[in-house]
Structure 1
Amino acid sequence: MPAEYREVSFIIHPLEPAREILIAELSLLPYDSFLETERGLKAYIKEADFSEDAIRNLHVLALQESQINFQTRIIPEENWNANWEAQFDPILVDDKCSVRAPFHKPKEVAYDIEIMPKMSFGTGHHETTFLMIRQMLQMEFSSKNVLDMGTGTGVLAILACKMGARKVRAIDIDEWSYTNALENAERNHCEGIRIEQGDTTLLGIGDGYDIILAN
């Protein structure tokens, strides 16, 4: 029988830093994907793996500095892609860079980036990612040696590659992000990006970078 998914919609006030903490905690559970919204977060998990008790036991819900409410609904598997496509809108940064999913039409811009985010952080919808892209568009990456620390989906590393960086190294401690970044780099014909799973211990003494990205 087709698997069903559970959508968990979180309303968060104030948004940060509670949303980032929530994503970090949910990443330890078997959720398939996250979608950041204007008011909070939507998380998706197979119905067979869903536990409301696991959500209620999240430490972030006990924070006095924020208020988090949630509700859930079941999504039949046949509606999964349509539901995801309907909610993941492409973004455009300064008419120069487009970040979109594979089911969106390409934009005629200088840098068109195709991302399938899954559970990884970095679609451009998050304000810090958007601002990082905007700042990068004002910089010179041609022939530069670039490090993207905490790469998530790999979107910033991919942009650096498309902007002409000589070398790009992308690191993330999360296994899901590592795998997703590899897939997205290949999707954007940026297979030359050196993508690794780990933390700062991977950086050696004497490693030199012209530009370091940390989102």
Structure 2
Amino acid sequence: MKKWLELELPAEAGWHDTVSAEMFALGCTGITEKEERLLAVFEDTDSRALIEAVASRIRRYRPDFEARAIKINIIPAENWNENWKAHFKPFRLGKHVVVRPDWESATLREGDIELIITPKMAFGTGHHETTRLILRLLEAYDLENKKVLDAGTGSGILAIYAARRGAAGVTAFDNDPEAMENAAENGLINGVQNNIRWLTGDIGVVPAEAYDLIVANINRNVLLEIAGKLSAYAARGGTLILSGLLLTDERTVLTAYRERGWRPCGREEEGEWLALKFKWQEGEK
């Protein structure tokens, strides 16, 4: 059975978001904050190489950081899942979205949308600031009869939300086969399996179609890498929402996307995290 590596590293409260972003950029699948430490989970790999890569990232901000300050534990997959079950309780995400695991019930208010997520290997339960930021922008967007592309879908939470809001068709992709298996399961639990097309791979697996809305909650490096490719899927006047960004990434990302025909038209921030909204300005598909 698949194993996971849990890295425990020091991170003072003011550095949590910055260090978290670097961990996600290295492929981290989930982070838990513990006062002045972070627990970051990675797929089983060369532990020495991973520790050095993590230390190198942290030295960008703390030049004196030493790799020996990082502790490492091996976690069997079933233990990780049981830990999530013990701590994942229903919670409110945005104004009208309630997220819960399938073994819990939730109290709903009038107008609420309930999303049921099975949190396998922390592919995105909605707890992170970046998901909350995208949801704030999406709640104000009319999704009825819109075509939606969800890049790096993880647990599928954003794709499922779009389908529940009446999107005409949703395409969601991720390069992690286990994440896609989890996302498809979540789509089935939420009754939207026929409204979402799940694709495994990078953006190249997406058919050449025009989308009214593109959402991508990934990380700065990947968002810069796929900036030109995302533009190829934009409908005229289409909307793009990006997250997985730190406030310090804003200028670089804005420049990259402006150069490819996107006009900034909105933003949300929480702590050190940022989401950006754009409108497509070029051509007609």
TM over 0.5: yes
Aligned to 1:42: 39
Equivalent positions of 1:143-182 (< 5 A) are 143-182=145-184
Conservation of the 8 A alpha-carbon contact between 1:18 and 1:60: no
Conservation of the 8 A alpha-carbon contact between 1:157 and 1:169: yes
- Aligned Cα RMSD in Å? 3.4
Unaligned runs of 5+ in 1: 28-32
Distance 2:32 2:144 in 1: 32
CA shift at 1:42, angstroms? 3.2
Conservation of the 8 A alpha-carbon contact between 1:97 and 1:113: yes
Q: 1:60 to 1:168 in 2, by over 3 A?
A: same
SS in 2 for 1:171: strand
Distance 1:20 1:34 in 2: 11
Q: What is the TM-score normalised by the length of structure 2?
A: 0.59
CA shift at 1:180, angstroms? 1.5
Distance 2:22 2:47 in 1: 18
Q: 1:5 to 1:55 in 2, by over 3 A?
A: closer
Equivalent positions of 1:3-42 (< 5 A) are 8-13=7-12, 14-23=15-24, 25=26, 34-37=30-33, 41-42=38-39
Aligned to 1:100: 100
CA shift at 1:125, angstroms? 1.4
CA shift at 1:172, angstroms? 1.0
SS in 1 for 2:180: helix
Number of equivalenced pairs: 203
CA shift at 1:117, angstroms? 2.6
Equivalent positions of 1:1-215 (< 5 A) are 8-13=7-12, 14-23=15-24, 25=26, 34-37=30-33, 41-43=38-40, 53=48, 55-57=50-52, 59-63=53-57, 64-66=59-61, 70-71=70-71, 83-109=83-109, 110-192=112-194, 193-205=196-208, 207-215=209-217
Distance 2:152 2:164 in 1: 19
Distance 2:160 2:77 in 1: 31
Conservation of the 8 A alpha-carbon contact between 1:8 and 1:44: yes
Unaligned runs of 5+ in 2: 218-285
Conservation of the 8 A alpha-carbon contact between 2:16 and 2:33: no
CA shift at 1:203, angstroms? 3.4
Larger Rg: 2
> Whose helix fraction is larger, Structure 1's or Structure 2's?
2
Q: What is the TM-score normalised by the length of structure 1?
A: 0.75
